[in-house]
Structure 1
Amino acid sequence: MPPESPVPWTYFLIRILFRIVLKIFYGTIVVEGVENIPQTGRPCIVCANHTNSLTDALVLVTAIPSKKRNMLHLTAKSTQFGKKTLTSWLIEAAGTVPIQRRKDFAEGTANNDACMAKLTRTLEMGGAVCLFPEGASRYHPTIAPLKTGVARIVSTILSRNRNDIDFEISILTCSITYMHRQHFRSDVLVTFHPPFTFRPKDNPELLEPVNYDNIRLVTTQMHRQIAVGTFDAPSWSLIRAAKMATPIYAPLGTAMSLGDYVRVTRAFLEAFKAGHLFPDPTSSTGPCSSEVSTQLKDEDIIRLKENLQAYQSELHRLRIRDDRIRRPLSRPVIVYRMVLRLFWASFLLFISLGGLVLWLPIAATTFYAVHNFKKTGPVWDTWDEIAQYKLIYGLVSGLCVYATALFLTLHIFPVTVVAVPVLMWMSLRWFEDAVSAARALVALGRLLRVNPATLSRLRVTRADLHRRVIHLAVLGLGLPPDPERYFALDGRKDEGQVIGRWASKAGYFSLRQRRKRDWNETLRLYEQFDYPSSEDS
């Protein structure tokens, strides 16, 4: 096998820049399954779900450690090439291969022979190629049917190397789950699954001439593995219901990793999708029940889903959180906590003001760019690119702010070259904590305005939902009956989550990242319920 081509310096630059930008934009990026990534020199096709346009590729580039793969060759739609924009330059500078989509060209004129030849040559040299088999980025709740191109590439390469008994090529599937893909300081889970490895001697069914059923079978296996690690539903309403079931099952404050949160939510989602229950054998959250309770019926699950949606809608209307229903507070305690939150939010805002001055041009630039971009098309055709716009415009405006700050302080350049980014990061962390305290203050204020009779009724509703959710989780899904204890002892501590009372308190003051009790938090004063309506999706 010939040696892989050297990595261009622009790839290193782009990787460093966007590692920083992604770390700033997303509060926590948790990467699971790094041990499944084939080492440099072993041909590998990385395939992931595609919901966030260029951001998906950037997340994968930064999530794969350089000690595992020195370069990930990207692909992108050809219409993004040859433009006088920063996005176009970044795509081309990273060595990205253009793919012509049929929808972008007149019927029959799209030609990807050169693209396929380059990808084949890269793989035969031991490289790693990133492909999104859905074919296009989509702001949809469900994963689109995968195209068979990846399996056909594997078939072609195996056939070309059929005489090399030691040749092998892998398909590494990856699930990317964004808690709120376009919102500042949200969280991301990247899960690499065990790769599918193919060899000419072990997979003669993929050697040319190949039966197309075998190509479809490989594609189906890829789809199943990608879907098992993320949310995949026919409607946003099902995802809403599953996300409401999770905090009722594992309440606020449960020491749950982001990976466990996604797996638990997905377990509820699969139950609501199917309407009947079977323990998920792929779940690593806890012991699965070997028997399905006969007491759980389709109509019970459907009714639970509808009741969860109604409960969530009422909480959203009142602008209060489920935890305030679960743990009621007396009015004197609410007032006392509001005073504390007001003091803490004011103090953090005050000490972060200096750095926020530097962040203001960046925030204004990205807001203006995204506001105008949203007008260019419907939700399903624009929302998947919002994060990309925020990242690109944030990077450009951030570099301009940094350069301007250095220019204005040339006389103390050795100090400001380090002090400016440190000040900006610390002020961001302080401001993030200030917004968290202000969000709690606003929620407590709303709680005071809610009629006591309404709160009593909601507590009764929640108690009934809790009983039914636990029944579903334990008997139907095989989840542990005591999640707070189970996840605290589980030992899987991902970034952003701490275990132990003192560690939890100390983590609140961390400058590295904010302690999160709820993986749905973003840098907003209110809970996120921004999924499109059923008509839009």
Structure 2
Amino acid sequence: MPEGSPTPWSYFLIRLLFKFVLKIFYGTIVVENADLIPKKGEPCIVCANHSNSLTDALLLVTSIPSKRRNLLRLTAKSTQFGKRTFTSWLIESAGTIPIKRRKDYNNEQVDNTEVMQNLMEALENGDAVCLFPEGMSRYHPTIAPLKTGGARIVSDVLSRNRDKPDFEISVLTCSITYMHREHFRSDVLVTFHPPMKFRPKDNPELLAPVKYDEIRGLTARMHQQISSGTLDAPSWTLIRNAKLAARIYAPLGTTMSLGDYVRVARTFVEAFKLASAPRPDSSSDGEAGPRDSAEDNQLIRLGNDLKEYQDQLSRWGIMDDRIRQPLLRRRTHLYRFCARLAWVLFLLFISVPGLLLWLPVFVTTFIAVHQFKRTGPIWDTWDEIAQYKLIYGLISGLCVWFGATLLTFPIAPITAVLVPVIMWMALRWLEDAIAASRAAAIHLRLLLAGPTRLRALQAQRCGLHARVMDLAVNVLGLAPDPEAHFATSGGPDKGRVKGRVKGRWASKTKYFSVRRRRKRDWNETLRLYDMVDYPDDPY
């Protein structure tokens, strides 16, 4: 059995460094089904959706346990190589294989023969090769049709080893779901699916000469697996509506893993997507098509009503959970506003030393991202924002660390440890301060909205809740009591949940965990407002 390529020291360093950086940038990174990853020495093609440029590759490199695979060979567009930039060095040092794309060469014919040869030899050596079959990264709500390159490589490798009937190659599909891919302290779900295994003796249909239908069929299976684990919709509006439906179905406080939350939201996405899709024509004998137009119209109306309700919440800056709760008296709002404001001021006060260290990092990344956004449209640039924040944040953060160490040279060993600790604690306190600021602002907005408007919103939500629950339970087959159901199911990431924790003391201590903030809402980011909207994307 092949042993696979050895791990380059640069790959080991990059993996260690960016595992640290990604855990700082994203609040929670949940990896599901890592036990399904083929072990070292087993030829494997890892295929994932591609919505966040270089960050997707870094996330896969750091999410695959080293005890399962010591090396993941990446692929990247050839234009990323040979430049005097940190990104170019990063890509080349990780052993990445360059692939030429026609769009980068004026749509002229390109020759990737040598590249394909290197990929097949790496697989035959027992390596794991990472491909992004969409062909390009983009800021879109839907997964692009997959290219057939991955399926062709499987066919070519099997054909080269047709004299070894037991030679086996796996295709491991992976779904990456970012709650808000470009926002600091957002959350990420990485879900690995059961690998598809192929051997010459079991899959003669993939041996050369292979029919194109077989290649397309395998590509379609890959697309189905990838899309089944993430939010895939034709528009941002549909995803926005589905997330609101998921919050109404399982409201704030429901103990729910990130994986369960994504799967519930995806269930609503699929229902709304099916309802808005063109219906097939009626059959020739006049009978109705296979779908019920009345049910479709009800779902479309529900989606429109959810959008109208969310628009009102966004206009007033109020979260759905506040509308769900009973109305409070004005003096209660004032008391809670003052209490949270005092808590914010205290947290900011104790965070000052660490925030001064963070200031150069925040300023550097803000300027870099601001300049980059001006270089192109949203669909072609926003997928690289997280990448820019990661790289510029890493470089500026290292400069702060080195500078502080040099300026305190007599006690440099102490400073070298103390500076990261101070910066991390400041970040944790800042997260709590921002969350308290949001709560304080909401109490102020509830006062400004007035009881009449709030009662109207409550009545609107009550009607939406009944319709969402009817859809969830009677049509989509979701549990009628989500709080009880998800508290016991939990999924693969059961230990990483939002909402209430059993026991008052456990709840308080886990909320102020040093490792990470216990979020009450998986849509939460380091922002002063509720993250429910997406940028306009006129693609």
TM-score range, shorter chain: over 0.9
State the AA in 2 paired with 1:217: G
2:80, 2:302 → 1: CA distance?
Answer: 45
Instruction: Kindly state the Cα deviation for residue 3 of structure 1 after the two structures are TM-superposed.
Output: 3.6
1:495, 1:394 → 2: CA distance?
Answer: 26
Question: Does the CA-based 8 Å contact 2:48-2:176 persist in structure 1?
Answer: yes
Give 1:70-469 correspondences, 5 Å limit: 70-275=70-275, 297-327=295-325, 328-469=327-468
Q: Which residue of 1 aligns with 2:510?
A: 507
1:293, 1:456 → 2: CA distance?
Answer: 37
Question: Does the CA-based 8 Å contact 1:44-1:171 persist in structure 2?
Answer: yes
1:295, 1:378 → 2: CA distance?
Answer: 37
Q: SS at the partner of 1:115? A: helix
> Which string of whole-angstrom CA distances, capped at 9 and with x for unpartnered residues, describes residues 155-211 of structure 1?
000011111122100000000000000000000000000000000000000000001
Q: SS at the partner of 1:398? A: helix
Instruction: Kindly state the Cα deviation for residue 494 of structure 1 after the two structures are TM-superposed.
Output: 4.1
Q: Which residue of 1 aligns with 2:283?
A: none
2:202, 2:328 → 1: CA distance?
Answer: 64
Q: SS at the partner of 2:349? A: helix
Question: Does the CA-based 8 Å contact 1:174-1:193 persist in structure 2?
Answer: yes
Give 1:470-485 correspondences, 5 Å limit: 470-485=469-484
Relative to the length of structure 1, the TM-score reads 0.95
1:4 aligns with 2:16: no
Q: Which residue of 2 aligns with 1:495?
A: 496
Residue segments in structure 1 that go unaligned for 5+ positions in a row: 278-291
Q: Which residue of 1 aligns with 2:281?
A: none
State the AA in 1 paired with 2:391: I
Q: SS at the partner of 1:130? A: strand
Q: SS at the partner of 2:89? A: helix
Question: Does the CA-based 8 Å contact 2:260-2:490 persist in structure 1?
Answer: no
2:496, 2:30 → 1: CA distance?
Answer: 6
Instruction: Kindly state the Cα deviation for residue 2 of structure 1 after the two structures are TM-superposed.
Output: 4.4
Question: Does the CA-based 8 Å contact 2:276-2:296 persist in structure 1?
Answer: yes
1:494, 1:173 → 2: CA distance?
Answer: 24
Instruction: Kindly state the Cα deviation for residue 471 of structure 1 after the two structures are TM-superposed.
Output: 0.1
Question: Does the CA-based 8 Å contact 1:30-1:494 persist in structure 2?
Answer: no
Question: Does the CA-based 8 Å contact 1:296-1:472 persist in structure 2?
Answer: no
Question: Does the CA-based 8 Å contact 2:6-2:70 persist in structure 1?
Answer: no
Question: Does the CA-based 8 Å contact 2:141-2:235 persist in structure 1?
Answer: yes
Farther off after superposition, 183-192 or 521-530 = 521-530
Q: SS at the partner of 1:450? A: helix
Distance 1:295 1:481, change over 3 A: farther
Question: Does the CA-based 8 Å contact 2:256-2:490 persist in structure 1?
Answer: no
State the AA in 2 paired with 1:464: G
Q: Which residue of 2 aligns with 1:285?
A: none
Question: Does the CA-based 8 Å contact 2:255-2:497 persist in structure 1?
Answer: no
Question: Does the CA-based 8 Å contact 2:2-2:42 persist in structure 1?
Answer: no
Instruction: Write out the 4+ residue segments of structure 1 that deviate beyond 3 Å after TM superposition.
Output: 106-109, 292-296, 496-499
> Which string of whole-angstrom CA distances, capped at 9 and with x for unpartnered residues, describes residues 296-333 of structure 1?
71111111010000000010001111111100322222
Instruction: Kindly state the Cα deviation for residue 109 of structure 1 after the two structures are TM-superposed.
Output: 3.6
1:2, 1:177 → 2: CA distance?
Answer: 33
State the AA in 2 paired with 1:213: D
Q: Which residue of 1 aligns with 2:282?
A: none
Farther off after superposition, 405-414 or 474-483 = 405-414
State the AA in 1 paired with 2:311: S
Distance 1:276 1:504, change over 3 A: farther
2:535, 2:354 → 1: CA distance?
Answer: 34
2:432, 2:28 → 1: CA distance?
Answer: 15
State the AA in 1 paired with 2:251: P
Q: SS at the partner of 1:129? A: strand
> Which string of whole-angstrom CA distances, capped at 9 and with x for unpartnered residues, describes residues 342-394 of structure 1?
12111111111111111000000000000000000011110000000000100
2:460, 2:20 → 1: CA distance?
Answer: 45
State the AA in 1 paired with 2:332: V
State the AA in 1 paired with 2:534: Y
Farther off after superposition, 99-108 or 141-150 = 99-108
Q: Which residue of 2 aligns with 1:525?
A: 528
Residue identity (%): 64
1:255, 1:248 → 2: CA distance?
Answer: 14
